[in-house]
Amino acid sequence: MSKSYFMPTRVIMGNNCVVENSKMFSTYGKNAMIVTGKSSAKINGAEADVVEVLKAVGINYLIYDQVMSNPTVSCVFEGADYGRDNAVDFIIAIGGGSPLDAAKAMALIIGSNLSEDNLFSGNYTEALPLIAIPTTAGTGSEVTQYSIITNDVLETKIGIKTHLIFPKVALLDAKYMMSLSVVNTVNTTIDALSHAVEGMISIKASGISDSLATRSIRMIMGCVPTMMEVLEEEDSTLFTLEMREKFLYASTLAGMVIAQTGTTAVHAMGYALTYNKQIDHGRANGLLIGEFLRFTEKGEPKLVARVLEAMDIRRVDVYIDMMRKLFGELEPISNEEIRTFSAKAILAGNISNCPVIPTVADLEAIFMASFGVK
Ligand SMILES: [Zn+2]
């Protein structure tokens, strides 16, 4: 099977990188739309920095700050209509995965002149240029061609995938993450870990993606003891700027990985937990990876051994123990729920990325073992 690597996003990182790269914004036009959530970009200072830059270089801007977590189809069309009516040339997305994914969909809707009927058609011609400024370290959306949107009519999440929505530029400054809560920080970082691990396991993995994944896994696993300490002592100051820079770097590397490899059964199963049980996305994945590795190990022991080596541990059990300690008490899940979630997850496209294809019964067994259900 031939492999390829394609990641056209320019990545700029470092303290104050938004302000220091003000001239770069002018290359994308005279009229910008800032897309963000209701409050976090205001609290963490990212929005103020972007506004300062746009004013300094003479770019007109408008702000769409109504992106909710798990953005819906109506939200992305509301934002796109606002941008289209004001003839914006490019979009600046600030926030976690939700604002970034919503902004990508808006860029595509405006660029390809899409209606609600053909948003998920795959029939795309163009997208407005997008600059991504992540303010959480987890999704890696700043370097991927994916946008996950909640279809509120069908009551499900649907992924848009097209190279047109790779951001043109990703600006990574960990100072915008200093106000992120401890639990959010842990959950989003473990989401990044699951991207790197699943990327190594995926049948689409290559030497290049494995190099990025290994580095990302090492960086995150090296920070797990501090995460435990922070949770125990409830002292978020232990998450220093340097440590948050590591999280951000690791999550961007993991994003570059899944841009090539996609995710696996872990994300397919995790979505069911998030959608139906409101279990945080990163937490759900973190709790499922261990048993998924154990399942994969039976058919692909060498592959799993490579993942464990990157984690600097010898056995899958050690990882499972770590996550149990990190995540505390598990949510109760019934056998009936497990049957429903497994039946749904088996239909997901990312199941085909698994080197050992699970059956529905395998998914049920992974759910049960992960949540201690008998
Ligand atoms: Zn994820």
Distance 56 CA to ligand 1 centre (A): 36
Distance 194 CA to ligand 1 centre (A): 7
Residues near 326 by beta carbon (within 8 Å), at least 6 away in sequence: 186, 190, 224, 227, 228, 231, 286
Q: Structural domain boundaries of the chain?
A: 10-176, 181-370
Distance 139 CA to ligand 1 centre (A): 5
Distance 59 CA to ligand 1 centre (A): 34
CB 35 within 8 A of CB 102: yes
Distance 320 CA to ligand 1 centre (A): 18
Distance 307 CA to ligand 1 centre (A): 18
DSSP readout, 231-296? HHHT-GGGS-HHHHHHHHHHHHHHHHHHHHH---HHHHHHHHHHHHH---HHHHHHHHHHHHHHHH
Distance 269 CA to ligand 1 centre (A): 11
Cα gap 246→241, rounded to integer Å: 9
Q: Indicate the helix (H) or strand (E) that contains 361.
A: helix 360-370
Distance 86 CA to ligand 1 centre (A): 33
Cα gap 288→116, rounded to integer Å: 34
Q: Taking Cα atoms as reference points, which of 217, 218, 306, 250 lies closest to residue 134?
A: 250
Distance 70 CA to ligand 1 centre (A): 12
Q: Which residues surround ligand 1, an ion (CB under 5 A)?
A: 191
Radius of gyration of the chain (CA): 20
Cα gap 154→73, rounded to integer Å: 11
Distance 54 CA to ligand 1 centre (A): 31
Distance 242 CA to ligand 1 centre (A): 23
Distance 170 CA to ligand 1 centre (A): 18
Distance 334 CA to ligand 1 centre (A): 24
Q: In what order do the strands lie in the sheet with 31-37?
A: 10-13, 169-172, 130-134, 90-95, 31-37, 60-67
Distance 304 CA to ligand 1 centre (A): 20
Distance 47 CA to ligand 1 centre (A): 25
Distance 26 CA to ligand 1 centre (A): 32
Distance 23 CA to ligand 1 centre (A): 32
Q: With the CA atoms of 66, 72, 74 and 75 taken in that order, what torsion angle do they form, in degrees rounded to the nearest 10?
A: 20
CATH number of the domain at 181-370, please? Answer: 1.20.1090.10
Q: Taking Cα atoms as reference points, which of 198, 128, 208 lies closest to residue 164?
A: 128
Distance 85 CA to ligand 1 centre (A): 33
CB 32 within 8 A of CB 89: yes
CB 200 within 8 A of CB 295: no
Distance 34 CA to ligand 1 centre (A): 24
pLDDT at 154: 66
Exposure b/e, 190-228, CB count within 10 A at least 16 = b: bbbbbbbbbbbbbebbbeebbebbbbbbbbbbebbeebe
Distance 285 CA to ligand 1 centre (A): 7
pLDDT in tens, the chain (374 residues): 788 899 999 999 999 999 999 999 999 999 999 999 998 888 899 999 999 999 999 999 999 999 998 899 999 999 999 999 999 999 999 999 999 999 999 999 999 999 999 999 899 999 999 999 999 999 999 999 999 998 777 666 788 999 999 999 999 999 999 999 999 999 999 999 999 999 999 999 999 999 999 999 999 999 999 999 999 888 888 899 999 999 999 999 999 999 999 999 999 999 889 888 999 999 999 999 999 999 999 999 999 999 999 999 999 999 999 999 999 999 999 999 999 999 999 999 999 999 999 999 999 999 999 999 98
- Level-2 CATH architecture, domain 10-176: 3-Layer(aba) Sandwich (3.40)
